[in-house]
Copies of this chain bind each other. A is one copy, B any other.
Amino acid sequence: MGGLAFRLLLLPFLAPVATTAVNPALRALASLNLQIFPTFQPEEANNYSIYYFDQKIDHFGFYNTKTFKQRYLISDKYWKTYDGVILFYTGNEGDITWFSNHTGFMWDVAEKLKALLVFAEHRYYGESLPFGDDSFKDSKHLNFLTSEQALADFAELIRHLKRTVPGADGQPVIAIGGSYGGVLAAWFRMKYPHLVVGALAASAPIWQFEELTPCGVFMKIVTEDFKKGGTKCSESILRSWGAINRLSNTGSGLPWLTRAFHLCSNLNSEDIQRLKDWLSETWVNLAMVNYPYPANFLKPLPSWPVKEVCQYLTNPYMSDSLLVQNIYQALNVYYNYSGQTRCNNISETTIGNLGSRVWGYQTCTEIILPFCTNGVDDMFEARSWDLDKYSDDCYKQWGVRPRPSWVTTLYGGKDIRSHSNIIFSNGDLDPWSGGGVTEDLSDTLVAVNIPDGAHHLDLRPSTETDPPSLQLARSVELRHMKQWVSDFYGNYRKQP
């Protein structure tokens, strides 16, 4: 019990790949990625300039006066200083160049909105390391990794841009982000409404905290995706856990499983839980990136990858060994679509990098997302949410304990109706939509739901195969943003 919960929580919202990193550790990882995926390329070749801004390490105290360099990217190709807008990406848990390359929506709307694009890196990720190589050393150095500090970085950066970029001062700013970055965009509008006229919070699970959402919802949505993916698909996965358990109890079972899953190292009996967690995380990731066209987000994948996976999982009632072999075939869609993977490493689901490691610290402090399964409403083995065990694991790994109520105290939980101008977009296929805002809360706190959408599909670049529901969602988002801009100029120019 509890093992899944802990590992799942170490899952980043998404696990970024560092491709243009300067930091040596990141560069090593980047080249590693290139070895794994020789065909990996950013999805768009967008041009930006890279800048650095001196941020206080501690915005909320006066004892530590040190600063660090926050990286941010700027593109002014389509910017008009007369009636334009500043689109400000509130960077999340990874290298900001990766987000800039995977947020095609901003590049796509830049011309229509005459927008200056700014991508601000989140502290402790990418190159924006408060203590350089020592940033992840211990809980003392990690102390300044919080959402409040990150939002304060964004606020200071916006004021800096307004002071120093000619033409920026009189312009409205819109916060945009996806996933944890979408949560930050929404929170930024809530806490700094004087700095941004609105926020597009894509796939932002702002209610995945405390008891705001039942802990089982997330895995239930994953399961529903697999139900939709093919007949008996989720049932096959549900039965696979028993098959693995039974096989691992036989004398020859462990070497057999090692071979069946093409694992890089031999399984022993203590690894079985990790094997099952690795499988669970793979199903979760597939649900998140279940896009309608071939894409390379977490991994290079075909269109509708869950459907692809489910082609191998049509019969739950075969023998344990045949069922496991089918599971392996299904996994191959995710782990070996490029056909070049020699073996599978169960300690890796997406690509490991610094970003995803330190995200674990955030999920052990502020970002406490309760998950649970029951094996009835979902296709996973039953696990309850065990905060005490979770807390002990956090303490062991990071030397800190979670404060699960704090985010609700600070950002308001479900009582956010007094705010305004936030678009909450969610894809119905995205497991994170369960903790998202999927109904309008007011005229200006609006929900945009994308029936065929996975994780922040709307932020991806537009393609010729975009479903109509996606096109509609983007046009609604654009309409709201234009309204905020024209409201701003209406009020602004009215002033003396």
Tell yes or no: A413 within 8 A of B by CB.
Answer: yes
Contacts A155-B410, A409-B159 given; does A416 touch B194 at CB 8 Å: yes
| Residues of chain A from 376 to 407 with CB closer than 8 A to chain B in the complex | 400-401, 403, 405-406
**Nearest CB on B from A54, distance (A):** 13
| Residues of chain A from 190 to 249 with CB closer than 8 A to chain B in the complex | 191-195
Tell yes or no: A63 within 8 A of B by CB.
Answer: yes
Question: Which of B159, B406, B413 has a CB less than 8 Å from the CB of A194?
Answer: B413
How far is B327's CA from A262's CA once the two chains are assembled, in angstroms?
Answer: 95
Residues of B with C-beta under 8 A to A341: none
Question: Which of B149, B159, B192 has a CB less than 8 Å from the CB of A60?
Answer: B149
> How many identical chains are in the complex?
2
Tell yes or no: A23 within 8 A of B by CB.
Answer: no
Q: Is there contact, CB below 8 Å, between B65 and A401?
A: yes
- Mask: chain A, 284-317; 1 = CB below 8 Å from B; 0 = not: 0000000000000000000000000000000000
Contacts A61-B146, A155-B409 given; does A418 touch B420 at CB 8 Å: yes
Residues of B with C-beta under 8 A to A365: 62
**Nearest CB on B from A402, distance (A):** 9
Tell yes or no: A342 within 8 A of B by CB.
Answer: no
Contacts A193-B419, A194-B415, A194-B418 given; does A405 touch B62 at CB 8 Å: no
Tell yes or no: A139 within 8 A of B by CB.
Answer: yes
Residues of B with C-beta under 8 A to A410: 152, 155, 192
Contacts A159-B405, A159-B409, A410-B155 given; does A63 touch B400 at CB 8 Å: yes
Residues of B with C-beta under 8 A to A63: 139-140, 142-143, 400
Q: Is there contact, CB below 8 Å, between B418 and A60?
A: no
For chain A, the count of residues having a C-beta within 8 Å of the partner chain is 40
Tell yes or no: A320 within 8 A of B by CB.
Answer: no
How far is B416's CA from A339's CA once the two chains are assembled, in angstroms?
Answer: 56
Residues of B with C-beta under 8 A to A65: 401
How far is B412's CA from A155's CA once the two chains are assembled, in angstroms?
Answer: 10
What secondary structure prevails in chain A residues at the interface with B? loop
Q: Is there contact, CB below 8 Å, between A148 and B415?
A: no
| Residues of chain A from 44 to 70 with CB closer than 8 A to chain B in the complex | 59-65
Nearest CB in chain B to that of A144: its residue: B61
| Residues of chain A from 400 to 440 with CB closer than 8 A to chain B in the complex | 400-401, 403, 405-406, 409-410, 412-413, 415-416, 418-421
Most chain B Cβ neighbours within 10 Å, of A146, A193, A415: A193
Q: Is there contact, CB below 8 Å, between B62 and A412?
A: no
Contacts A159-B405, A409-B156, A418-B420 given; does A62 touch B193 at CB 8 Å: no
How far is B365's CA from A61's CA once the two chains are assembled, in angstroms?
Answer: 9
Q: Is there contact, CB below 8 Å, between B149 and A62?
A: no
Most chain B Cβ neighbours within 10 Å, of A159, A406, A412: A406
How far is B413's CA from A152's CA once the two chains are assembled, in angstroms?
Answer: 15
How far is B50's CA from A335's CA once the two chains are assembled, in angstroms?
Answer: 62
Residues of B with C-beta under 8 A to A59: 406
Nearest CB in chain B to that of A191: its residue: B191
Nearest CB in chain B to that of A151: its residue: B410
**Nearest CB on B from A140, distance (A):** 5
How far is B420's CA from A200's CA once the two chains are assembled, in angstroms?
Answer: 22
Nearest CB in chain B to that of A155: its residue: B409
Question: Which of B143, B155, B413, B421 has a CB less than 8 Å from the CB of A62?
Answer: B143
New contact pairs (5) apart from A59-B406, A63-B143, CB-CB < 8 Å = A60-B60, A61-B146, A62-B142, A159-B405, A194-B412
Between A and B, 8 residue pairs with Cβ closer than 8 Å are: A61-B143, A62-B143, A62-B365, A63-B139, A63-B142, A155-B409, A193-B412, A193-B419
